[in-house]
Amino acid sequence: MIGFLRGAIAACKAAESSRKNTPSYWLTLDVQGVGYDMQITASAAGRLPPVGEETQVFTHLIVREDQMVLFGFPTLAERELFRQLISVSGIGTQVGLALLNSLGIQDLVKAIISGNTRVLSLTPGVGTKTAERLALELKTKLADGRLAQVGTTRSLGSILSVALQEELEMTLLALGYTPTEISNALNAIVGLPVLAKTQDIEAWIKEAIAWLSR
């Protein structure tokens, strides 16, 4: 319903119900004289510009019987990953925020893809069974039809192994990018000198996200 909001930061303060180990904040964004309150992670709050300056926040609206709650994210990728997290049974909005806050996008996606339930269960509110379900359901969603949807260039194949190509593509899918966007990004960055002959998957992810965020 509301894809994103752009406006001046009116206020940002810790949520009263926020626990010390899973802190969250309330951000008030002044959009042409209308104040929108939204819940964001502590890590997102730390990346905001000062009060009074303008920023853009991608949003997700939850409608309940007694209230509507808006959640904000600094990037489109974070919002899309949040949506995937809360689609899993047992993962509510607060746990979804906690996962994003404690692990960050890259480590969270890596843990899900690799099925690292130990890392996932380090987040407060995520037990072993929930971590297993989280990894199983999201990894399956990302893997279904992946090879048919995402294409890689021959030059990319000459640099990265098949396993690393798969991890790179699945990570970008998990971040909410479409197969077409991923293919375009990989075609664009494959010739970068910084990536020449490197098997550092995090470097590839970083450059792909940077290109997709332009």
Phi–psi pair at 8, nearest 5 degrees: -85, 145
Q: What pLDDT does 139 receive?
A: 79
Q: What pLDDT does 159 receive?
A: 74
Share of the chain above pLDDT 90, in %: 39
Q: Most confidently modeled of 30-39, 75-84, 89-98, 160-169? A: 30-39
Average pLDDT (23-27) is 88
Average pLDDT (184-196) is 84
Average pLDDT (18-27) is 72
Q: What pLDDT does 21 receive?
A: 57
Higher per-residue confidence, 153 vs 139: 139
Q: Most confidently modeled of 43-47, 153-157, 160-164, 184-188? A: 43-47
First-last CA distance in the chain: 24
Each residue's pLDDT tens digit, 6-17: 999 999 999 876
Residue 198 has pLDDT above 90, yes or no: no
Q: What CA–CA distance (Å, rounded) separates 182 from 120?
A: 26
Average pLDDT (83-103) is 92
Average pLDDT (168-183) is 81
Q: What pLDDT does 38 receive?
A: 96
Predicted model pTM: 0.69
